[in-house]
Amino acid sequence: MIAVDDLRPELGCYGSPIVKSPNIDRLARSGVLFRRAYCQQAVCSPSRSSLMTGTRPDTTKVWDLDTHFRTAIPDVVTLPQHFKQHGYFAQGMGKLYHGGFDDEASWSVPWTTPRAPQQPYALEENRAIVRKRQAEVGAGAKKGPGRPRTNGPAYESADVPDNAYQDGAVADLAVSTLRERALHPEQPFWLGVGFIKPHLPFVAPKKYWDLYDPAKIQLATNPFRPKNAPDYAVLPGGELRNYYGIPAGQIPDDLARTLKHGYYAAISYMDAQLGRVLDALESNGLAGNTVVALWGDHGWKLGEHDGWCKHSNVENDTHAPLLIASPALGRGAGQSTSALAEFVDLYPTLVDLCGLPQPRHLEGTSLVPVLRDPARGSVKSAAFSQYPRQGARGVRLMGYSMRTERYRLTRWVHRDDPSKVDAVELYDHSKDPQENTNIAGDPALAGTLAQLTRQWEAGWRGARLRIRP
């Protein structure tokens, strides 16, 4: 299982004319590409906790970056833990759970994140900036949430080898681990490899920056907030502003182009590390008997809606890549599907593909019927995401978003009293795929809104469709 941080579906296999992603494209040729896959909350820890437990954020109680899912569901069996309990050797490396979080019960051997010797900055001038900012913060700075930031520049192009940065070191470990697992054919394995790029900072060896002509990089065509949407629906992107040299206001065009250049270079760098892992699967004789799943934990804005990073319910943030390759796919291999999928579906799908029993706690649906016949249609009528916000006068809100084949409906409700609705958003993707205009208040659509609201109220349980044999 390959986890990629902050990867939006702007890749060669998703139709991008500019992004160089030959190894993800290679995986797509051997598997099924989901064109409409959605995370359950567009920020790292909630998304990863949901995917790895097979449950949704309101079950994990993970809506932020500071809560471990074991707090709310201490006895839940995670995806790798389930495989371990059924005889698999389970190992994780790189970013799988969020940041410093781990889950000892998930692994046969301790999880590790290799630290490259020059991580995350290779250039001395950038390391100097970090040291200066750390000195300014002072040795007595508080730790944890709200701590002063000491991030250096948001991007870097250095003429260094791939393993000068973390993803290259993670790939080194993955390659050696696959070589070791090939020596133990008597025991199946579950291997989680977490790549951190293209997460900020956009640092990548210079050769990956050189793949792109900055003059051909197009800026977002909708650098404005959705019309008629509540002010809190999309925020500017505070995560980016924590980096040195990023202004508080609107990002100037030249800087925006450089940031996109860095994001694309980071994708290509990560993609090359994926290629090394896929090569190791083949060279060790493992490819013919191994399921490979790749996902980006959520989407990402690159200036769309005058925003950067993730942290919202819009399509840019909730829509993310999902590819699954399996020796058992048959005619499905090399195809793509428009079937709706949720990341919470990955757990039951991998269990199904490997013939293991399905745990009773799962809140997703196996996508195996789609894998076997990508043209069959969806196993569900909608995908669900959510994001917390603070409204006027400090009211705590949760935006629950439903994506159907045509529409996105988001209802912002009071967290202390979900019967109170603060705002409603509705977007028609057949006419407005960028979600630029909220049409929830259009009187001509009152019937459509009422029907979608009933579907929203039925939730993910009501969205499950009967699966034909």
pLDDT bracket for residue 291 (50, 70, 90):
very high
**What's the pLDDT tens digit per position in 52-85?**
999 999 999 999 999 999 999 999 999 999 999 9
Residue 372 to residue 286: CA distance in whole angstroms: 22
Tell me the average pLDDT across 253-272.
98
Query: Is 447 in contact with 440 (CB distance < 8 Å)?
Result: no
Write down all domains in the chain, each with its CATH number in brackets.
2-372 (3.40.720.10), 383-463 (3.30.1120)
Q: Is the pLDDT of residue 96 over 50?
A: yes
Instruction: Find the catalytic residue in 13, 44, 298, 309.
Output: 44
What pLDDT was estimated at residue 144? 45
Q: Is the pLDDT of residue 146 over 50?
A: no
Please list, in sequence order, all residues whose beta carbon lies within 8 angstroms of the beta carbon of residue 357, skipping any fewer than 6 positions away. Answer: 86, 351
Report yes or no: 18 and 309 within 8 Å, Cβ to Cβ: no
Q: Side by side, which strands form the sheet with 2-4? A: 89-94, 189-195, 2-4, 292-296, 322-325, 32-38, 335-342
Q: What is the pLDDT of residues 311-339, one digit of tens each?
A: 999 999 999 999 999 988 877 789 999 99
- The residue with greater pLDDT, 391 or 36, is 36
Which pLDDT tens digit goes with each residue over 188-244?
Answer: 999 999 999 999 999 999 999 999 999 999 999 999 999 999 999 999 888 999 999
- Percent of the chain exceeding pLDDT 70 equals 96
Beta bridge partners of 424: 411
Please give the pLDDT value at position 86: 98
| pLDDT at site 393 | 86
Distance between CA atoms of residues 456 and 469, nearest Å: 27
- Predicted confidence at residue 467, as pLDDT, reads 61
Mean of pLDDT values over 373-398: 94
**Active-site entry in 98, 199, 298, 311:** 98
- How does residue 404 score in pLDDT terms, banded at 50, 70 and 90? very high
Question: For residue 120, what pLDDT is reported?
Answer: 82
- What is the distance between the alpha carbons of residues 297 and 39, in angstroms, rounded to a whole number? 7
Cα–Cα distance for residue pair 88/79, rounded to 1 Å:
11
Q: What is the pLDDT, as a whole number, of residue 141?
A: 52
* pTM for this entry: 0.95
In which band, very low, low, confident or very high, does the pLDDT at 145 lie, cut at 50, 70 and 90?
very low
On average, the pLDDT of the chain sits at: 94
CA-based torsion, 158, 164, 166, 169: positive or negative: positive
Answer whether 190's CB lies under 8 Å from 109's CB. Answer: no
Predicted confidence band of residue 465 (pLDDT cuts 50, 70, 90): confident
Q: Nearest Cα to 28, choosing from 317, 296, 368, 292? A: 292
Sheet holding 396-403, edge to edge: 383-390, 396-403, 407-414, 421-428
Average of per-residue pLDDT across 398-415 = 98
Active site residue 309: no
Residue 172 to residue 170: CA distance in whole angstroms? 5
CB neighbours of residue 400 within 10 Å: 20
Would you call 44 a catalytic residue per the annotation?
Answer: yes
Judge contact between 14 and 320, C-beta under 8 A: no
pLDDT attached to residue 290: 97
